[in-house]
Amino acid sequence: MPTTSNVVALNQTQFSAKLPPKKPKNGDVRPREHLTDHEVERLIKAAKKGRYGHRDAMLILMSYRHGLRVSEAVALRWDQVDLKQACLTVNRAKNGQNGIHPLTGRELRALRQLKRKADSNPYVFVSERGAPMTDRNVRTLVKKAGDRAGMEFPVHPHQLRHGCGYKLINNGVDVRTVQQYLGHASINSTVIYTKLDSRRFNGLWND
């Protein structure tokens, strides 16, 4: 006759077997949580080879250049894009600070091309059926672009936002400006990028 302890152990084993496997920690699957400028360009190049290449490549570029969260990218509307004044109104999620960002010539040319196919759809990034893209759509397309690009580690969309902060800090942009650009409510969320500033150690060794 099984003891109480054996029954408890058996129940725990059965319960554990029903649980999904634990999600691995980010540090176990990728070396860092940001992408470099070169890696983003690899992603963009790979994304262009997909079925909706121009849209996907543009979504990656805009997410990187403007530090967009996935929810901010899929919610982006054409009334936030001013092609004549070359600026973008960025509406931040998570109680972030909204802002107006300049658009570069590269972005303007790509946006105009995307706009010509938009008809009267109010959203910038849409699915085949004309509905706004979902968070899952974006995660899938970024993953596929990473696989197609032969990235050395799995990539996800939020690495584009972190890559933006990393790039700006390493370009010498002051922390307050980066905070405003990324829409961080607190500067504590921005100073993490200063730890990734490669210029900090310049000159420590001279030959």
Catalytic residue among 30, 69, 92, 167: 69
Establish whether 52 is a catalytic residue: no
* 186 falls within a domain: no
Q: Is residue 112 predicted with pLDDT exceeding 70? A: yes
* 149 falls within a domain: yes
* 90 falls within a domain: yes
Q: Is residue 22 predicted with pLDDT exceeding 80? A: no
Q: Is residue 117 predicted with pLDDT exceeding 90? A: no
Establish whether 34 is a catalytic residue: no
Whole-angstrom Cα Rg for the chain: 21
Q: Is residue 184 predicted with pLDDT exceeding 50? A: yes
SS3 track for 143-205: HHHHHHHCCCCCCCCHHHHHHHHHHHHHCCCCHHHHHHHHCCCCHHHCHHHHHHCHHHHCCCC
Section 160-170 average pLDDT: 95
Predicted local confidence at residue 24, as pLDDT: 54
Establish whether 30 is a catalytic residue: no
Catalytic residue among 158, 162, 166, 167: 158
Residues of the chain above pLDDT 70, percent: 85
Mean pLDDT, the chain, rounded, equals 88
* CATH code of 71's domain: 1.10.443.10
Task: For residue 118, give its domain range.
Answer: 38-155
Count of domains for the chain: 1
* 196 falls within a domain: no
Establish whether 162 is a catalytic residue: no
* 181 falls within a domain: no
**pTM > 0.95: yes or no:** no
Do residues 87 and 129 lie in contact, with contact meaning Cβ atoms separated by under 8 Å?
no
Give me the residue label for tokens 């009334």: 79
Establish whether 69 is a catalytic residue: yes
* 127 falls within a domain: yes
Predicted local confidence at residue 190, as pLDDT: 94
* 22 falls within a domain: no
* 197 falls within a domain: no
Residues of the chain above pLDDT 90, percent: 71
Establish whether 54 is a catalytic residue: no
